[in-house]
Structure 1
Amino acid sequence: MAILKPFAAVRPRKDIAHKVAALPYDVMNSEEAREIVGDNEYSFLHVDKAEIDLDRNINIYDKIVYEKARNNLYEMINRGVLAKDNKKCLYIYRLIMDGIEQTGIVGCASIDDYLNNEIKKHEHTREEKEQDRINHVDICDANTGPIFLTYKYNNEINGIIKSWTEKEAIYDFLAEDNIRHMVWIIDDEHIICNICNIFKNIDSVYIADGHHRSASAVKVGLKRRKENPNYTGEEEFNFFLSVLFPHSDLRIMDYNRIVKDLNGLSTEEYMFRVSEKFNVNIYEGDEPYKPSCKHTYGMYLGGKWYELTAKKGTYDPCNLVDRLDASILQNNLLKPILGIEDPRTDNRVDFVGGIRGLKELELRIDNQKDGAAFSMYPTDIEDLMLIADAGEVMPPKSTWFEPKLRSGLFIHTLR
């Protein structure tokens, strides 16, 4: 059973929605955000990355940054850049990338569903990253970025979406990265009730992306409950902003690895140790090696690409986590050979989303003149759901979802 709740979204005027909508805060650093925003006064990065409007020397986790975010948000509301709908609705959000559509329902999920594991997770979170978004949500008094949830395809929901999207979209724009964004408002109370009832009969929903944002939203909700001991459970702080997509729509891209050095090994020593666990072949193609199936990897080393294939015995095929490509590489190469004990915290390893292309791996390794890069085969959405169902956790940086949901198209206020 999954609770889906309509809400009155704070959202941009139609004529400037394309200027407001911004990439998520966590796919860029502060300098990149400043460059992206330029002279765009409407960009939602003024809220999600408010340090761009402060001195460059300020600590991005200073309270003044969150206060600036709140001030920017409510200034946008006061100026009429953003306005709150006058009734509770659900919304449809469609993204089109390279001709492939991804269409979800925008509403609010329940913090109790998260706590009771009706909303299933597949990643650990880090306390410092949680605290950042706790401060942001609490001080802004709003969920400013949607959590990316998924559910197993449902024919009834698909039929409703198909019928409703025959209407004219309230937003329809092409972003600078050539991704088309479309939004419809579902304001018919009968249809809203029908959708919510269908979700009550869906066993589970899954966090695809946004573990830190969801954990933070839940902790803010629990904080508000403590502050309001007579709460009923219907207050807005009991729910958090989400977009729910059918799993069949989702596109997971490769999430590649770069290691800064060979852990003190010579190239010969390193290659010998790698060959103990992987079949290694020189790749003669003109383009970087892109794996075409599970348990194969590209390795860029010394100006050459190699094809690696995991040998028998390097993983347990019956173990959901152990058989993941990210686990196989970590357990048989990154940790024992290159000394990467914890990829979450080790600064010798970096991760590059597949959207940047494999030439980025070559560039990075050529520039640092040491180390190795690894191209990965994308994780299956079915593997993600199986692991979440089993209560297991995937290795860090196992999934890179594209296209990215834009922030600023929907804001959920907590009161």
Structure 2
Amino acid sequence: MKLEKRVNDWIEAYERNGYLNGSILVSANREVLVNKSFGMANLEHSVPNKPDTKFRIGSLTKAFTAIAIFQLHEKKKLRITDCIGKYLMNYPNGEKITIYHCLTSTSGIPNYTSFPDFWSTTMRLPSTLENLIDLLKKQPLDFEPGSRFEYSSSGYTLLTAIIEIVSGMPYSDYIREKICIPLGMYNTGCDNGVKVVPNLASGYSFWEQPIHTAYADLSFPLGAYGLYSTTEDLFIWDKALSSSQLLSREHMDKLFTPNLDSYACGWVVANIVNRKCVHHFGDISGFFSDFLRFIDDQVSIIFLSNINVTPVTYLTRQIAKVMFEEPVSLPEPILPIKIKEPKLFSGLYEKENHFNLDISFNQGRLYVTVPKMYGVLYKFKLVPILHNSVKTVLLTEMIHEQITFHHPAGEIQTIEYIDFHGKKHILSRLKQV
């Protein structure tokens, strides 16, 4: 109960400021400790998130694809050491690239989601698995297969095709019939963007308020990042991965063994909070997810969000600190105050040419525009909580960040920006807006 209270106290501190969106499940000793949801699954219709709300899980999908490949290996329908050319006819360098290279992102095939026109054009257009593979065939290798690690969804696209060829089933059917149904994961499946998925949350981004994300066609992500699930289903998945329900112990151990760097087969194996952790995150079209599995400690943390600005990967690590009794700082309650002439704080602020903060004033409110993941800009409302003759302190809405304006001589000299990681940045004013 003491552990449960610590986690719930942490959740309460973040929830009261509106910093949590989505669903969180925390387990210890294979028992659910916390299972809570926050915010809205659909803002247009005021539908709240619930523990059975479905979220697109992005690259958490890769772990399912890896299990499928190993199942087929175990049934002797393929070998993970096979070259992909055995299954994908006329694939360039197909005699050098193995299935295992694709599983461990060591194939040398460039990651198609990193292509220059992907985010602006390709992701919005309907396609097929065959068309995407034809596109990959035209790309030169980034490096000799097996020589180094470079994260790539492209290899998992090829694995999706190999699963379909070897099993004689569409990828979505294989995952449902060979993994999900046997485990009782009835709220997990492949989202093609056409079929209506009951209880599926909508994904959002943020600019002053939640907004729709850019359209992404879901006809081709499939085994790379095309699944949806719930925290409760992923808890079933978590327990299955610690058993022999899906694979023999020998093959499960192989799947979780890193090849190069810390990447295994659809999982990263690394130290988090000074403990061995098997983990992965995913993001797609407004959804941001993270899954931490501290196998030796029998602790798992699953966080699925449908607002992409929620710093899910940071928050899961904070929860891990709470679970293992490491010190954490909790956000103070937002208690707004009024300040005179807030427009005087607006301006462009710079940190040694690294990045700028644009603080603007609109309709009586201050906002900050700041780059986040992948350099994407987001705009947050600023709430003043302290003001005196030497400094003014404001907090951001939506995420736990703080800006302090220092004005000991009556004029703003510098600002101190503390991001959600707790990192301090000192910025100088370039100009007043």
Relative contact order (alpha carbons < 8 A, sep ≥ 6): 1 or 2 greater?
Answer: 1
**Larger % of helix: which?**
1
State the TM-score, normalized to the length of structure 2.
0.31
State the TM-score, normalized to the length of structure 1.
0.32
